[in-house]
Structure 1
Amino acid sequence: MRAHSCRSCGTSPALDAAAGLCAGCARAAGFRQPLPPAFFTTVAMRNALSDHDFGVVFTAIREHTGLSQMQLASLLDLTQARVSEVESGARRLTGAKLAARISGVFAIPAQLLGFYVETTVDQPGNLATEEVDWVDRRDFITLATAAALGSRLHPELDRLLSFLPAHTDPITRPRIGAADVDAIEAISDGFRRWDLAHGGGLCRTAALSQLHQVVALDDAVCAPQVRGRLQVATAELASMAGWLAYDVEDHDTARRLWTYGLGTAQRADDHPRSSDLMVVILLDMAHQALHLHKPKDALAFAQLATATATSRRYPVSTITAGYISAVTAWCWAMLGEPDPTRRALTAARDQYSKATLDTTPPWAWFVTDAEIAAQQGHSLHLLSLTRPEYAGPAIAQLSAAVGAHPDEHARSRAVVLPTLAVSYFQADDTDSAVRTGHDAVTAVTTLSSERCYARLRDLDAVAARHQRAAGVVELRADIATALAASR
C-alpha cells in the first residue's frame, strides 16, 4: 500500500492523485490540480497502458495536472529530452524497472501495465509477485507477449533465469567460436531425435543440465556473428527442453523454459532464424493449451505467432507459415468452428506444398508428409467430436500418418493411434476402433511419454460410451492396465 505521508516532506498526508505528494509539495512540484478519480481506468488510458504507449500517458498526465515536461521528468527521475522523445513517439519506454517506477509515482494499477499482481487485503494492486504455478497463472499470455515483443515490462522476464528448474553449477569459458555453437545445435538435434523415437521422459533431465551449461556462455567473448548463432542455439535448446517437459506432462516447467527460450530468441534479432524459432515456441505454447483443453488461450498464442511472423526483421520460412496455419486449424476445430478450420487447413496445405529444403530451418526436418497428415487429421478429429461427419476424413488423414511414420518416429506414431481409434468410434466403426485401440496401448507402453498416456485416457472416456459393443470391455481393461503400470 502507498504510504499515507507525503513522499517528499514526510509529514503531511499524501494525495495519491498527485504522485504521492501532499497538497503543498504537489503545488511546488508543478501540479495545478491532482489527477481526476479513476484517471487510469478510462478506455483511452487502458489502451495506452496495455500498448505500453507512455507518450499518450505522459501527455494526458500533463494536460490534466498542468505539469511541464521538465517537472514530469523530475518526478520520474528522467531528463526533459527523454520525456519529449517519448511524447513525440520518437522513443519508447520498455524497461521493467522504469515501468514500475512510473506505476509507483502515479499510482497506476500495476496490472494495467502487464505486471502480474498478487493482491491482498492490505496491498491492493501492488507490484509484489510470488512463485506460482505457471499453468494456472492468469497472466501467462501477457508474459509470453512481453517476451515476443522484446519488452522487458513484465518483471518475471528479468528474473526468469534465477528459477529455471534443475539448476546446476555451470562451467564457464572465456571465449567460444562457431564450433561450440555447432556442438550446441547438435545437442538439441540429438534430443529431438530421441524424443521422436522414445518420448521425453528419459532425457528431459539431461536437457535441463545441458541448458544450464549453455546459458552460462551468454557473457562469453565471441565474434558478433557467433553471438547471434549462440542466442538462437540457446533458445532452441530451451525450446527443446520445454517440449521434453511438456511430453511428460510437466507443464509448469515447460512454460518456464519456453518463455526463457522466447526471450532469448527475441534478443537475436539480427539472426535470420530467430523469427522461425520464436513462432515455433509460441505454437508449442498453443499446442500445450489445446492439450490442457484451453482452446481460447491456444488461439491467442496462435494469433500472437501470426503477428510475430509478420513483424520481425526477417520473414519466417514457408514451412513455419504452414505450421501456423495447422495449429490455428486445431484451435478453431476445438472451438467447434468448421469454416475457419477448413480455411486454415487449406492455407496449411498450400504453404507446406511450397516449402523447399533450402528455406527450411534446420530443426524442422521432422515435418514430413506423415507429420503434415497427422496435423490435418488432428483438426478433423477435433471437429468430429462435435460433428461426427468429419470422422471419416479424419480417419483417412490419421491412417496415412500412422502408416508413413518411420520406426525412428515411434512417439509421433503412438500419439496419433489413440486419436485414430477415437475417430473410428465417432464413425461408428467399433471393430476398427477396438483394433486400433489395442495397437495404441502397445505403442504407448513402449515409450516414456506421459502425453501419449493422456491420449489413452481420452480414448478410454470415448470407449466408455460404447461399453456394450463387442470388444470394448477388453479394450478398456487393456487401457486400465497400461495406465496403472504407468503410475
Structure 2
Amino acid sequence: MERRAFLTDSLGAAAGVVSLPSAASRPEPTGAVGTSDLFELRQQLHSLYQLDDAFGGDEVRSLAQRHLRRIRRVINTTTYPDTIGRQLQLLAGETAEQCGWLAYDADDQDAARRYWGEALATATMLRDAGLEILVLASMAMQANHEGRPRDGLDLSHAAQERAQKYGSPTLQSLIAAREARALSLLNDKAAATKKLTDAMRLAERIDRGRPSPTWAAFHGPAELDYAQGTFYSEIGHHSAASTFLRAALSHQDRTYGRNRALYRITLSRSLIQAGEVDEGAAVAVESLQHLDEVESGRVMRGLREVAGQLGNVSAVSARSACAELTEYVHAKGAA
C-alpha cells in the first residue's frame, strides 16, 4: 500500500474514533452533559495521542483541532454541573496543549506557541498543576529547539518546581532531561551531566511516588539514551553520541514510529560527524523505508540536514545517498 493511501485509511479510521457522533454511539449531547460524555471526549483525546506516537504531527493535527472545536462547542452550548464544567475546561486545555505539540512536531512553531499560550491560560485559571507542568515542559522543549536555551532552562525550572510537588519520579526525570538539554546548549557541561544523572536516577524510582500522567508514557530508557546521545553530540563527542543513539533506537517501542524515525536521522547525522560517512549514509538511506508512515516536519528537517551533510562529502557513497535523500524530500513535499 502506498504511503498516502496508508495514512488516509489510518487517519480516516481515526477520524471516526474522534468524531461525535459515531455510528455506534448515542446522539451527541445538545442538552445536559454527564460523566459518560466527558469520558468519551477524553478517550478521543487519548486516541489522538496514539496516532501522534505512530504517525507524527503533520496530518494528525487537523483531527486535534477539530476535537478542540468540538469541546469548545460543548462547553458553550450545553448545560452541566460545575464539576463537569471544570473537567470540560481542563480537557479543552489538554487538547489545546496537544494541538500545540502537533504543531511543534509539524515544525509550525508560531501555531505551537498560540496553542500552548491558550493551554497555559486554562491551567492558570483552573489552578491545575498537572496541566501547568505539561505546558511548561513543552514550552521548554520548544525553546531549546529554537536556540533559546536560557528560556528553555527557566521554563524547565518552573516545570520542575511544580513537578516536585506533584510527586512523580518519571515526570521529574523527563523535565530533568530537558534541563540538561538547555544546559548543554549553554555549554555548561558539568551541570548538564549532573542533570542527566539526576534524570536516570529518578527514572529508576518509577515504583515510588505518584504515577506519571498518561502523556509522559513515552519517557523511559530509550528517551534517556537519546538525551545522552544528543548531549554528547552537542559537546562534540560524536562517537559516544552514536553509541547512545543506537541504544535509543534498540530500546524504543515500535509503537512510537515518529520517535524511531527521529532517532534514525539523528544517528545518521552523528555517524557522519564522527567520520563514519559510509555507515551514516547507509543508515540515512535505510531510514527512508521507515519514513513512509511518518508525517513530521521535525523529521523532514533532520533529513534535509543529513542530505546537506552528505552533499559536502566527496565520497561516492555520500554523493549517492545525498541524491537519494534529496529526491525523497522533494517527492514527499509534492505528495
* TM-score bracket for the superposition, by shorter chain length: 0.7 to 0.9
Give runs of aligned pairs for residues 103-114 of structure 1, distance below 5 A.
none
**Structure 2: segments with no counterpart, 5+ residues:** 1-27
Q: Residue 172 of structure 1 contacts residue 216 of structure 1 at CA under 8 Å; is this kept in 2?
A: no
Q: What residue number does 2:3 align with? A: none
Q: Residue 417 of structure 1 contacts residue 436 of structure 1 at CA under 8 Å; is this kept in 2?
A: yes
Give runs of aligned pairs for residues 77-156 of structure 1, distance below 5 A.
none
CA distance in 1, matches of 2:221, 2:32: 41
Please report how far the alpha carbon of residue 193 of structure 1 lies from its aligned counterpart in structure 2 after TM superposition.
0.8
Q: Residue 231 of structure 1 contacts residue 265 of structure 1 at CA under 8 Å; is this kept in 2?
A: no
Give runs of aligned pairs for residues 361-376 of structure 1, distance below 5 A.
361-376=213-228
Q: What residue number does 2:182 align with? A: 331
Q: 1:242 to 1:179 in 2, by over 3 A?
A: same
Give runs of aligned pairs for residues 43-62 of structure 1, distance below 5 A.
none
What letter is aligned with 2:277?
A: T
Please report how far the alpha carbon of residue 202 of structure 1 lies from its aligned counterpart in structure 2 after TM superposition.
1.9
| CA deviations over 1:284-320 (Å, ceiling 9, x no partner) | 122222322333332232233234446xxx5252211
Please report how far the alpha carbon of residue 380 of structure 1 lies from its aligned counterpart in structure 2 after TM superposition.
2.6
Please report how far the alpha carbon of residue 191 of structure 1 lies from its aligned counterpart in structure 2 after TM superposition.
0.9
Match of 1:283 among 99, 115, 137: 137
Q: 1:228 to 1:354 in 2, by over 3 A?
A: farther
Please report how far the alpha carbon of residue 360 of structure 1 lies from its aligned counterpart in structure 2 after TM superposition.
1.5
SS in 1 for 2:58: coil
Q: 1:442 to 1:333 in 2, by over 3 A?
A: farther
User: What percentage of aligned pairs have identical amino acids?
Assistant: 25
Q: Residue 144 of structure 2 contacts residue 152 of structure 2 at CA under 8 Å; is this kept in 1?
A: yes
SS in 2 for 1:201: helix
Give runs of aligned pairs for residues 411-422 of structure 1, distance below 5 A.
411-422=258-269
Q: Does 1:257 align with 2:115?
A: yes
Please report how far the alpha carbon of residue 400 of structure 1 lies from its aligned counterpart in structure 2 after TM superposition.
1.5
Q: 1:350 to 1:226 in 2, by over 3 A?
A: farther
Query: TM-score normalized by structure 2?
Result: 0.82
Q: Residue 184 of structure 1 contacts residue 234 of structure 1 at CA under 8 Å; is this kept in 2?
A: no
Give runs of aligned pairs for residues 265-344 of structure 1, distance below 5 A.
265-269=123-127, 274-309=128-163, 315-344=166-195
CA distance in 1, matches of 2:179, 2:32: 42
Give runs of aligned pairs for residues 421-436 of structure 1, distance below 5 A.
421-436=268-283
What letter is aligned with 2:145?
A: H
CA distance in 2, matches of 1:308, 1:263: 16
Match of 1:484 among 314, 330, 335: 330
CA distance in 1, matches of 2:123, 2:185: 29
Q: Does 1:394 align with 2:252?
A: no
Q: What residue number does 2:33 align with? A: 176
CA distance in 2, matches of 1:356, 1:176: 37
CA distance in 2, matches of 1:207, 1:333: 33
Please report how far the alpha carbon of residue 175 of structure 1 lies from its aligned counterpart in structure 2 after TM superposition.
2.9
Please report how far the alpha carbon of residue 406 of structure 1 lies from its aligned counterpart in structure 2 after TM superposition.
3.1
CA distance in 1, matches of 2:92, 2:155: 22
| CA deviations over 1:242-264 (Å, ceiling 9, x no partner) | 11111112221111111111121
Please report how far the alpha carbon of residue 419 of structure 1 lies from its aligned counterpart in structure 2 after TM superposition.
0.9
CA distance in 2, matches of 1:235, 1:188: 11
CA distance in 2, matches of 1:419, 1:445: 17
Aligned residues: 304
Give runs of aligned pairs for residues 465-484 of structure 1, distance below 5 A.
465=312, 467-484=313-330
Q: What residue number does 2:196 align with? A: 345
More helix by share: 2
Give runs of aligned pairs for residues 24-43 of structure 1, distance below 5 A.
none
Please report how far the alpha carbon of residue 415 of structure 1 lies from its aligned counterpart in structure 2 after TM superposition.
0.9
Please report how far the alpha carbon of residue 470 of structure 1 lies from its aligned counterpart in structure 2 after TM superposition.
4.4
Q: Residue 280 of structure 1 contacts residue 320 of structure 1 at CA under 8 Å; is this kept in 2?
A: no
Please report how far the alpha carbon of residue 440 of structure 1 lies from its aligned counterpart in structure 2 after TM superposition.
2.8
Please report how far the alpha carbon of residue 350 of structure 1 lies from its aligned counterpart in structure 2 after TM superposition.
1.1
* Bigger Cα Rg: 1
CA distance in 1, matches of 2:270, 2:70: 44
What letter is aligned with 1:340?
A: A
Q: Residue 29 of structure 2 contacts residue 37 of structure 2 at CA under 8 Å; is this kept in 1?
A: no
Give runs of aligned pairs for residues 419-458 of structure 1, distance below 5 A.
419-458=266-305
Match of 1:232 among 90, 93, 111: 90
Please report how far the alpha carbon of residue 176 of structure 1 lies from its aligned counterpart in structure 2 after TM superposition.
2.1
Q: Residue 308 of structure 2 contacts residue 322 of structure 2 at CA under 8 Å; is this kept in 1?
A: no
Please report how far the alpha carbon of residue 353 of structure 1 lies from its aligned counterpart in structure 2 after TM superposition.
1.2
CA distance in 2, matches of 1:301, 1:457: 29
Q: 1:208 to 1:483 in 2, by over 3 A?
A: same
Please report how far the alpha carbon of residue 223 of structure 1 lies from its aligned counterpart in structure 2 after TM superposition.
4.1
SS in 1 for 2:94: helix
Q: Residue 169 of structure 2 contacts residue 203 of structure 2 at CA under 8 Å; is this kept in 1?
A: yes
**Structure 1: segments with no counterpart, 5+ residues:** 1-170
Relative CO higher for 1 or 2, CA cutoff 8 Å, sep ≥ 6?
2
Q: Does 1:356 align with 2:213?
A: no
SS in 1 for 2:166: coil
Q: Residue 143 of structure 2 contacts residue 152 of structure 2 at CA under 8 Å; is this kept in 1?
A: yes
SS in 1 for 2:256: helix
Q: 1:398 to 1:276 in 2, by over 3 A?
A: farther
CA distance in 2, matches of 1:306, 1:275: 11
